[in-house]
Chains A and B, each alone.
Chain A
Amino acid sequence: MKARSILKDIGKSLIIAVWFMILFFPIMVMKVNVTRGVAHINFRWNVLPLIGIGAFVLSFVWTKALEWNERRTSKKKIENGLINNRALNGRYLKNPALRPLILLLVFGFTVAFPFLFGMYHTNVMITAFIYVILGLGLNIIVGLGGLLNLGYAAFFGIGAYTYGLIWKYIGPSFIAAGLNPGWLFWISLPLAGIAATIFGVILSLPVLRLRGDYLAIVTLAFGEIFHMVMQNAGDLTGGATGISLIPRPWFLGQKLQPSEAATYIYFIALVFVMITIFVVRRIEDSKVGRALEAMREDEVACEAMGIDMVKNKLITFAVGTFWAGIAGVLMASQTTYINPDSFTLWESIMILMAVVIGGTGSIPGVIAGAILLKLLPEYFRPLAQYRMLIYGIAMILVIIFKSDGLIPRKRKQYTFTEKELAK
């Protein structure tokens, strides 16, 4: 009986191997080369057996993995009534004895990081922090409000461009007046946040009537329009070449060396990450947060309960986009150079991916997702050309085997004790 089922599996895998050998044949085996309008085909026969063997082995692994995944989730359902209870944060982070220790260790490591590692790693970490801020901001819109936003990079760009334009237009007169250009950074921070918020509210006004994918496509359109305007309004914004030589923040009136500045920006970013976490946590537990959660579950029912949907959607967009503006300033000051190509649809998708892969609606999840998504490609650089391929595969694997994200959101729940029930 057992032998028979194994034979059956092998047969199935053989069919799959042949299927993939045929499927990948034109693209992988036949290499096209066009010279003077005539296509020449080079056959790479050595690839063919590799596809076959690869597909054969992987199909085995795939079926077993799917079966295992099925068993795992159904077992969990039975055990806990709810999925996700045995997630990483449940086991370690929420353990009262371990929690302060872990938090202290993480905090200590983060503070020591720029001193332990070089400027390169510090810079990589800054981009990761910027992503954390972006991820948490988007998480307010997507995770809490359930409003899919595919144009988030535009708000990131609005923040960066606020700083860039302030530098471009006010910077020279600022310096001429004998003032320290490092201050521009601090002036830009709130302004960028406010600018992004204003645009967020302006965008959310028309989309109030829309739902689901229609909302997604309008935000996508907004992002693309932003990109195009920045690219083409050459006189005003520097066009496709962007704005360069944006100053890094100064420390106590001192201009810093690039490596010192990196450390400084690192700590500024870290502080903002912590502020963001704090604010998002407070929002989650507030009246607005509850209303947003209700809105995500069911808009109609939520409205019937007397929750002001218009107000809530506006708040979601306003708060969510504010952090994108802040992140934009950080990004502009870190790279000292911005151009429209940093704020494309692709960027929006990457931020959304950080949220979903980390765990929509979960703060530790989004942080983990953002850091992973930024660090992995950075440290996979030796694999150069295969980097994006691996990235795509990893995304699909994560989403299939942990579809609630790496650290899923824990739903707030209240369990009755025997005593309370008896009352």
Chain B
Amino acid sequence: MEYFIKLFLSGTAKGSIYALMALGYTMVYGIIQLINFAHGEIYMIGGFTALILGGFFFSKGMPVSLVLVFSILLSIIYAAAFGFTIEKIAYKPLREKPRLSALISAIGVSIILQNFVLLSQTEKFLPFPNYLPEFSWLLPYRSYINSTQLIILITTAIIMVLLTLLIKFTRMGKAMRATAQDMHMAQLVGVDINQVISLTFVIGSSLAAIGGVLICSYMGQINYYIGFIAGIKAFVAAVLGGIGSIPGAVLGSFVLGWTESFGTGYVSSDYEDAFAFLILIIILLIKPDGILGRSRRQKV
């Protein structure tokens, strides 16, 4: 039983990590039906920005708590700026074109950003300092869950609630839902869809940056390539839960995390990713629209 709880908690922690990324994925997909392959790269850039700026502040003798706040804030701003710029350059000219074009463009952006970081920084794995606070009251339970994991879990929960509130109850959220349903119709009734799409990318990229900083703190290392695999996992999680649905993305991420955790714990650790993909196929066979996905028209 203890083993089971351990696996369950490690799966939960893993799931909340995926959820941080999957939320951004699902938002962008919900609005413009684009599998944004570059999302993982934004996450990586968020992590790198935090590493660089955090390292700079730290070397200037700033206290750790301030370093943490500033590096997270700045990495969010930078990631959001990257997301905004990418949308303007690589996706906006393709809005009226077949959907495959935008997908290829996204893959292109992903290649460019990877190599941009590879060429300007390094191809090596860099150690990532953990500036996150350590809770002393959690120490006795350290073998179950550590502070960083708890922080990730709580952050995911807060973000999910905030996003749901934003989309359900604000004016902007209404505009987003309208754009998701029918872009031209939304334009016709006076929604500025350029603004809506830009904002979606800004929010999605900010979430990726938060994810980047937290996950890199947890993993303790960073590399130009981490974004690609993380992006694929997040996409799987988002689809699992029903892409376009915000609670779905979170639920899908947890299902993915638990599957991987129990699969590696009880069956074999060699096939960690295979379990993730297997559960995806099985769930899509039973519910072709994902766990919480309803009819195809309803998005975000």
Which residues of A are at the interface with B, using a C-beta cutoff of 8 A? 19-20, 22-23, 26-28, 30-32, 34, 37-41, 62, 66, 69, 142, 148, 206, 209-211, 213-214, 216-218, 220-222, 224-225, 228-229, 232, 345, 349, 352-353, 356-357, 360, 385-386, 388-389, 391-393, 395-396, 399-400, 403-404
B284 within 8 A of A: yes
Do B121 and A27 touch (CB < 8 A)? yes
Do A356 and B101 touch (CB < 8 A)? yes
Do A392 and B115 touch (CB < 8 A)? yes
Contacts of B105 in A (CB 8 A): 395-396, 399-400
Do A396 and B236 touch (CB < 8 A)? no
Q: Which residues of B (253-287) have their CB < 8 Å from a CB of A?
A: 270-271, 273-274, 277-278, 280-281, 284-285
Looking at B78-86, B171-179, B189-197, the stretch in contact with chain A turns out to be B78-86
Do B127 and A34 touch (CB < 8 A)? yes
Contacts of A32 in B (CB 8 A): 48, 51-52, 55, 121-122, 126
- Beyond A32-B126, A62-B89, list 19 extra A-B contacts (CB 8 Å): A20-B85, A23-B82, A26-B78, A27-B49, A34-B55, A38-B58, A39-B51, A66-B93, A148-B100, A206-B284, A211-B296, A228-B270, A228-B273, A232-B270, A232-B271, A392-B111, A399-B94, A399-B101, A403-B101
Do B93 and A400 touch (CB < 8 A)? yes
A232 to B273, CA, bound (A): 12
Chain A nearest CB from B174 CB (Å) reads 25
Which residues of B are at the interface with A, using a C-beta cutoff of 8 A? 29, 33, 35, 45, 48-49, 51-56, 58-59, 74, 78, 81-82, 85, 89-90, 93-94, 97-98, 100-101, 103-105, 107-112, 114-122, 126-127, 129, 232, 235-236, 239, 243, 270-271, 273-274, 277-278, 280-281, 284-285, 288-290, 296
A31 to B48, CA, bound (A): 11
11 A-B pairs with C-beta separation under 8 A: A22-B81, A27-B52, A27-B117, A32-B48, A38-B55, A40-B59, A217-B236, A218-B280, A228-B270, A389-B111, A392-B110
Chain A nearest CB from B176 CB (Å) reads 19
A345 to B121, CA, bound (A): 25
Do A26 and B111 touch (CB < 8 A)? no
Do A403 and B119 touch (CB < 8 A)? no
A216 to B115, CA, bound (A): 26
A343 to B105, CA, bound (A): 22
Among residues of A, the one whose C-beta sits closest to the C-beta of B268 is A232
Contact of B108 among A66, A148, A225, A399 (CB under 8 A): A399
Contacts of A393 in B (CB 8 A): 108, 112
Do B100 and A360 touch (CB < 8 A)? yes
Do B35 and A216 touch (CB < 8 A)? yes
Listed residue (B58, B74, B119) with the most chain A CB atoms within 10 angstroms of its CB: B119
